[in-house]
């Protein structure tokens, strides 16, 4: 089963994304901060990582950069979720190795299709 | 020593030109008189001598001659009688005997005071008398006695007569001598006067030559020197001086010229000093005014003024308006041997602040040439200053008008100094300039503080808006996300009105999102943070996206939304999200201002310089007088107010900013009651760029577009 790790400090969004992805047939592990998500991903590499940018302890971009530095996770698909719509944030996300980004508020429907595309590309 | 001026005065009088001319005049007038008088005198003397010969000696000579004539006639008569005894012959004898004494006396009378001649004439007359009385009487007696006179010895008679003749001859000789004498005298006077005249003329010539020589030496030569000196002065050679020689007046003239030259030279030197000091002050003032920081200003002032005045130490003392604490806030020292007083507070006993007070209250320069020898200073002040090593100092107020902010002090430590008027005026001027600059700096600092404060407030506002808009996005994500789940039927189908109600929630959540995005974008534009990143965009794809997003809104408003077909390959060079924002704002505006039943259409047509996109509606239209302000932020048209259309007044301002950041143009055509066309032009991609080519991106900062000159 395809496994997705998501990290967002907002519980409602976590639940929304989890629900939509589970409905779409994915196995979802949700975390409320970057550190926990990083530990989980390094412990067992999933098929996709969804990271909110603004999170306590470690930001999404920091987690992304850390995962890209690590050999085992260098290739894992990563999608960033950001409330910041400015291009600089998006550029920074690509710089640290994200595969895609979505700006909040996003359509859950579109998130699923982007997730599917990202997993498909890496497969 | 005392009579030296007296001697000088006498010397001046003796050598004066006036005296020289007077002397010359007197000499010539006197010589004229002398010549005339001498001539007259000579003439008189000669005439007198000649007249004496004619009037005196010639008559005497004649009368004397007649005496002998008569005697000769008497002798002839007597001898005739003696020979002939003719008595008749005796008559002349008788006449002579009677007349002769009177005749002789007359001659003696004529002779006057010539005693020698008178004596000889006397002898002649006496001899004649002897001849008359003896021989004559003897012969005459014979006429009575009948004696024959021929018997008489004639010898006695002859002898007596000869005595008389002899005396006569001598007298004649003396008379001739006298005549000669007179004639000689006249001749001598004539000759002597000629000689005297020649000598006199020579003397006059010599005197004239001497006078000319003296004139030349005393007047002409010094005047020549004077002319040379004046010519040099005229050619601005102010070092020219006259050698003071010659006559008094010429010397006075020379001295006057020298004084004039001296004065001019001094005035020129002073003028040069003044010009130089003006130049220094101007340079100083301009370097002072280059700085806007008061501490820098103060240090630049003392560092420039100190050396310019040749001082050893220059300080600026700040005087607070309440006169408490006079602190040294700026300092320049010629060398480290001078103790630094920067930051020290002037001791506050009255006598020590007296100087500062004097400057402070007087508003003038206080210059003390010699601290140790200045009796106007309080002894405690002298003690304090000499204790510091100050020999002389100048204090000037740092003041503009009545507003005094401090005191400027320049002092010397090596020796007393006579502060010139220029230096005093220099320090005064610099004080004024410093005060002005300080006031400017103060204003500038206040303004800078205010600007910084405003800037940080503005930053806080921008940060706040930015953070608020981000914070609002998170709950909107949940609202829109869960609404979508419900609408999509992910959690089961909705019944009855539930579906349409969910659509209302969705629509309003999206409107809220647009408002938030407008606010965020405007704050980014304000903070110069909006960046656009351009890529080649297929205009058709963009319009399709807009149609999808806006159709629910149009449907809800009862309008038809038409997107005119566009050529598949039409591309523009733009930031996709920004261009999307432009279209969203324009279409939502059109929907808002068009009554139900109307239509909104979007067309895109290729033009020479890009693609022209037009959003048209059949709405209320915009009055002509409002069209100019349409793209101004916070402007809300009369229609929007009248129809209670919601909005922030930011939408079109954002549109204009974004289009202009793309080097595009935006314009509006509207007819009140009939509708509005808003169109904008977006440029095409650069020629080399392939449509949709990967990495065809260029980031352009909106701000740099706006602020670049």
- State the nearest Cα–Cα gap between A105 and chain B, in angstroms: 4
Strand pairing category for A48-52 and A78-82 = parallel
Are A16 and B481 an interchain contact pair (Cβ–Cβ within 8 Å)? yes
Q: Are B197 and B42 in contact (CB under 8 A)?
A: no
Per-residue confidence (pLDDT) for residue A7, from 0 to 100: 95
Which of B463, B469, B474 is best to mutate for the A interface (most A CBs within 10 A)? B474
- C-alpha A64, offset from chain centre: 9
Average pLDDT on B173-182 reads: 89
* Mean model confidence pLDDT for chain B: 83
Are A108 and B529 an interchain contact pair (Cβ–Cβ within 8 Å)? no
- State the nearest Cα–Cα gap between A82 and chain B, in angstroms: 9
The chain B residue lying nearest A89, using CA atoms, is: B531
Per-residue confidence (pLDDT) for residue B484, from 0 to 100: 92
- Using the predicted structure, report yes or no on whether residue B706 has a pLDDT greater than 60: no
Are A105 and B476 an interchain contact pair (Cβ–Cβ within 8 Å)? yes
b/e per residue B163-185 (b: at least 16 CB within 10 A): bbbebbeebbebbeebbeebeeb
pLDDT in tens, B140-150: 887 777 777 77
Interface of B with A (CB under 8 A): 470-471, 473-474, 476-482, 484-485, 488, 490, 509, 513, 517, 520, 524, 529, 531-533, 575, 577, 699
Q: Provide the residue count of chain B.
A: 709
Set of chain B residues whose Cβ sits within 8 Å of the Cβ of A32: none
Rounded CA-CA distance B636/B630 in Å is 8
Instruction: Describe chain B by its helix, strand, coil percentages, rounded to 5.
Output: 65, 10, 25
Q: Are B530 and B524 in contact (CB under 8 A)?
A: yes
The chain B residue lying nearest A85, using CA atoms, is: B470
Size of interface A-B (CB pairs under 8 A): 64
Strand pairing category for B531-538 and B571-574 = antiparallel
Percentage of chain B with pLDDT > 90? 8
Are A104 and B474 an interchain contact pair (Cβ–Cβ within 8 Å)? yes
Q: Are A41 and A69 in contact (CB under 8 A)?
A: no
The chain B residue lying nearest A111, using CA atoms, is: B481
Tokens of B549: 């997003």
- Between A122 and A110, name the one with better pLDDT: A110
Surface of A (2-61) touching B: CB under 8 A: 10, 12-13, 16-17, 19-20, 23, 54
Are B488 and A109 an interchain contact pair (Cβ–Cβ within 8 Å)? yes
Set of chain A residues whose Cβ sits within 8 Å of the Cβ of B699: 87
List of residues 6+ apart from B505 with CB closer than 8 A: B479, B483
Q: Is the peptide bond before A123 cis (omega within 30 degrees of 0)?
A: no
Q: Does A84 touch chain B if contact means CB atoms closer than 8 Å? A: yes
Per-residue confidence (pLDDT) for residue B698, from 0 to 100: 46
B329 pLDDT band, cuts 50/70/90, is: confident
Per-residue confidence (pLDDT) for residue B700, from 0 to 100: 44
Q: Are A24 and A47 in contact (CB under 8 A)?
A: no
Set of chain A residues whose Cβ sits within 8 Å of the Cβ of B579: none
- Using the predicted structure, report yes or no on whether residue B37 has a pLDDT greater than 70: yes
pLDDT in tens, B224-240: 888 888 898 888 888 88
Per-residue confidence (pLDDT) for residue B702, from 0 to 100: 41
ipTM score here? 0.92
| Residue B76: HSE in the Cβ half-sphere, 13 Å Cα cutoff | 7
Are A105 and B480 an interchain contact pair (Cβ–Cβ within 8 Å)? yes
The chain A residue lying nearest B476, using CA atoms, is: A105
Rounded CA-CA distance B128/B569 in Å is 194
- State the nearest Cα–Cα gap between A92 and chain B, in angstroms: 14
Quick one: residue B561, left, alpha or beta (phi over 0 = left, psi -120 to 50 = alpha)?
beta
Rounded CA-CA distance B655/B101 in Å is 178
pLDDT in tens, B600-651: 999 888 887 888 889 999 988 888 888 888 888 778 777 777 776 777 778 8
Per-residue confidence (pLDDT) for residue B705, from 0 to 100: 38
- Can you list the alpha helix ranges (DSSP code H) found in B488-527? 498-526
- Can you list the alpha helix ranges (DSSP code H) found in B527-623? 539-557, 576-592
Task: Give the residue from B691, B702, B602, B697 showing the smallest Cα distance to B660.
Answer: B702
- Which of B203-207, B341-345, B351-355, B579-583 shows the lowest per-residue confidence on average (mean pLDDT)? B351-355
Task: Give the residue from A77, A111, A65 showing the smallest Cα distance to B490.
Answer: A111
Q: Are B402 and B360 in contact (CB under 8 A)?
A: no
Q: Does A120 touch chain B if contact means CB atoms closer than 8 Å? A: no
Task: Give the residue from A82, A86, A64, A85 showing the smallest Cα distance to A73.
Answer: A64
Highest mean pLDDT among A92-96, B312-316, B627-631: B312-316
Per-residue confidence (pLDDT) for residue B340, from 0 to 100: 84
Give the one of B474, B480, B484 whose C-beta lies nearest to A10's C-beta.
Answer: B474
Q: B312: exposed, middle or buried (C-beta count within 10 Å: 0-12, 13-18, 19+)? A: buried
- Using the predicted structure, report yes or no on whether residue B183 has a pLDDT greater than 70: yes
Average pLDDT on B182-200 reads: 87
Give the one of A88, A106, A109 whose C-beta lies nearest to B477's C-beta.
Answer: A106
- Using the predicted structure, report yes or no on whether residue B696 has a pLDDT greater than 50: no
- State the nearest Cα–Cα gap between B476 and chain A, in angstroms: 6
- State the nearest Cα–Cα gap between B475 and chain A, in angstroms: 8
């Amino acid at each position: 089963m395809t496994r997705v790790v998501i990290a967002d400090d907002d519980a409602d969004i976590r639940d929304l994304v989890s629900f939509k992805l589970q409905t779409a047939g994915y196995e979802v592990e949700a975390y409320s901060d970057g550190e926990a998500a990083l530990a989980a991903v390094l412990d067992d590499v999933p098929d996709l990582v969804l990271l909110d940018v603004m999170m306590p302890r470690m930001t999404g971009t920091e987690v992304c950069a850390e995962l890209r530095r690590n050999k085992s996770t260098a290739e894992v698909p990563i999608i960033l979720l950001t409330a910041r719509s400015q291009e600089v944030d998006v550029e920074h996300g690509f710089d640290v190795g994200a595969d895609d980004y979505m700006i909040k508020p996003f359509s859950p429907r579109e998130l699923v299709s982007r997730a599917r595309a990202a997993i498909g590309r890496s497969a | 020593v005392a009579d030296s001026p007296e001697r000088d005065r006498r010397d001046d009088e003796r050598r004066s030109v006036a005296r020289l001319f007077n002397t010359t005049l007197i000499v010539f007038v006197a010589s004229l008189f002398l010549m005339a008088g001498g001539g007259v005198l000579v003439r008189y003397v000669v005439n007198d001598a000649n007249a004496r010969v004619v009037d005196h000696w010639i008559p005497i000579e004649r009368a004397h001659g007649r005496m002998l004539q008569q005697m000769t006639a008497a002798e002839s008569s007597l001898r005739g009688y003696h020979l002939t005894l003719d008595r008749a012959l005796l008559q002349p004898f008788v006449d002579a005997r009677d007349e002769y004494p009177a005749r002789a006396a007359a001659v003696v009378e004529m002779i006057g005071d010539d005693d020698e001649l008178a004596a000889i004439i006397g002898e002649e007359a006496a001899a004649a008398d002897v001849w008359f009385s003896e021989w004559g009487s003897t012969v005459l007696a014979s006429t009575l006695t009948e004696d024959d006179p021929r018997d008489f010895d004639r010898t006695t008679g002859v002898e007596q007569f000869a005595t008389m003749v002899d005396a006569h001859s001598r007298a004649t000789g003396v008379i001739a001598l006298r005549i000669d004498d007179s004639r000689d005298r006249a001749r001598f006077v004539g000759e002597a006067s000629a000689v005297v005249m020649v000598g006199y003329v020579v003397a006059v010539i010599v005197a004239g030559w001497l006078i000319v020589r003296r004139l030349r030496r005393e007047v002409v030569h010094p005047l020549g020197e004077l002319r040379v000196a004046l010519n040099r002065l005229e050619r601005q050679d102010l070092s020219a001086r006259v050698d003071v020689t010659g006559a008094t007046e010429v010397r006075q003239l020379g001295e006057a010229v020298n004084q004039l030259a001296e004065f001019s030279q001094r005035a020129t030197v002073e003028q040069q000093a003044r010009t130089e000091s003006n130049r220094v002050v101007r340079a100083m003032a301009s370097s002072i005014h280059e700085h806007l920081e008061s501490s820098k200003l103060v240090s630049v002032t003392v560092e420039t003024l100190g050396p310019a005045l040749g001082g050893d130490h220059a300080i600026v003392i700040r005087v607070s308006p309440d006169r408490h604490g006079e602190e040294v806030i700026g300092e320049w020292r010629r060398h480290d041997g001078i103790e630094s007083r920067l930051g020290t507070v002037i001791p506050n006993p009255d006598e020590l602040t007296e100087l500062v007070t004097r400057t402070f209250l007087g508003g003038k320069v206080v210059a003390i040439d010699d601290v140790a020898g200045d009796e106007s200073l309080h002894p405690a002040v002298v003690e304090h200053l000499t204790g510091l090593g100050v020999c002389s100092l100048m204090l000037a107020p740092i003041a503009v008008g009545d507003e005094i902010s401090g005191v400027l002090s320049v002092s010397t430590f090596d020796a007393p100094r006579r502060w010139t008027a220029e230096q005093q005026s220099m320090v005064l001027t610099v004080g004024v300039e410093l005060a002005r600059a300080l006031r400017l700096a103060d204003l500038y600092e206040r303004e800078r503080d205010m600007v910084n404060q405003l800037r940080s407030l503005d930053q806080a506002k921008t940060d706040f808006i930015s953070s608020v808009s981000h914070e609002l996005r998170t709950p909107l994500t949940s609202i829109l996300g869960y609404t979508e789940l419900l609408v999509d039927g992910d959690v089961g189908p909705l019944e009855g009105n539930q579906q349409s109600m969910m659509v209302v929630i969705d629509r309003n959540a999206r409107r809220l999102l647009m408002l938030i995005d407008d606010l965020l974008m405007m704050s980014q534009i304000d903070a110069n943070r909006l960046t656009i990143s351009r890529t080649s965009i297929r205009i058709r794809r963009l319009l399709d996206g807009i149609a999808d997003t806006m159709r629910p809104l149009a449907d809800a408003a009862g309008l038809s939304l038409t997107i005119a077909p566009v050529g598949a390959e039409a591309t523009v060079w733009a930031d996709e999200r920004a261009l999307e924002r432009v279209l969203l704002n324009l279409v939502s505006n059109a929907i808002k201002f068009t009554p139900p039943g109307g239509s909104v259409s979007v067309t895109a047509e290729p033009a020479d310089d890009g693609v022209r996109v037009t959003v048209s509606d059949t709405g209320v239209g915009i009055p002509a007088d409002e069209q100019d302000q349409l793209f101004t932020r916070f402007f809300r048209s009369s229609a929007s107010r009248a129809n209670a259309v919601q909005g922030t007044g930011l939408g079109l301002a954002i549109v204009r900013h974004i289009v202009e950041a793309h080097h595009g143009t935006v314009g509006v055509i509207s007819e009140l009651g009939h509708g509005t066309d808003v169109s904008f032009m977006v440029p095409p991609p650069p020629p080399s760029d392939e449509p949709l080519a990967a990495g065809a991106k260029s980031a352009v900062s909106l701000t740099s577009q706006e602020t670049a000159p």
